Amino acid sequence: MSTALVIAGWVVFGLVVLAGLALDLVGLFGNWVILVALGAVWAVTGFEHFGIGVMAVLVGLAVLGEVIEATAAGFGASRFGASRGAVVSAVLGCIAGAIIGTPWFPLVGTLAGACLGAFAGATVHEILLMRRDAEAAAWAGLGAALGKVAGMLAKLLVGIVMLCIAALTY
């Protein structure tokens, strides 16, 4: 294989990995993009590197990143005094906000929509169903929004760990 082709392949790999990390930062499927890129490297190199065990660990980490991100808004809401229903509402609001925000401002809208949706879901639940005052409800909503941000950062960290494992086992 020519040197230029090898260099081009690694450049494309690097760009895909950077795109995956950027997707993690906006709450999208970045670790899965990273996993596909690593799988492509594994296949292109004749399955010489990584191994099936390492690939299984990387899949497990990608799943873990999704679980952490999905539950973080609810955890943040509960830490700020939200009821159980508000925790569920924060997660649902997060999903709805991301869906609504994406068409308006791709990527940035997804992040803003997810955080605002988590805030709104927890806050509205606390006001309407739990009959809490606006300040206490907003506090729960703030916890949900902060939890969502923390979840996205944790997911990014999982992506970086995936890359470190891949680099160490290459």
Write down the residue that tokens 């791709």 correspond to: 106
Residue-level pLDDT at 2 = 86
Given this model, what pLDDT does residue 167 score? Answer: 93
pLDDT in tens, 75-116: 888 899 888 898 889 888 988 998 899 888 877 888 889 899
Q: In the chain, how long is the greatest CA-to-CA distance? A: 69
* DSSP secondary structure string for all residues of 96-130: HHHHHHHHHSTTHHHHHHHHHHHHHHHHHHHHHTS
Residues of the chain below pLDDT 50: none
Q: Which of 74, 76, 73, 99 is nearest to 85 (CA)?
A: 74
- Structural domain harbouring 93: 3-169
Q: What is the predicted pLDDT for the residue at 45?
A: 87
Number of domain units in the chain: 1
The pLDDT value recorded for residue 39 is 94
In 129-170, where does DSSP find H-type helix? 134-169
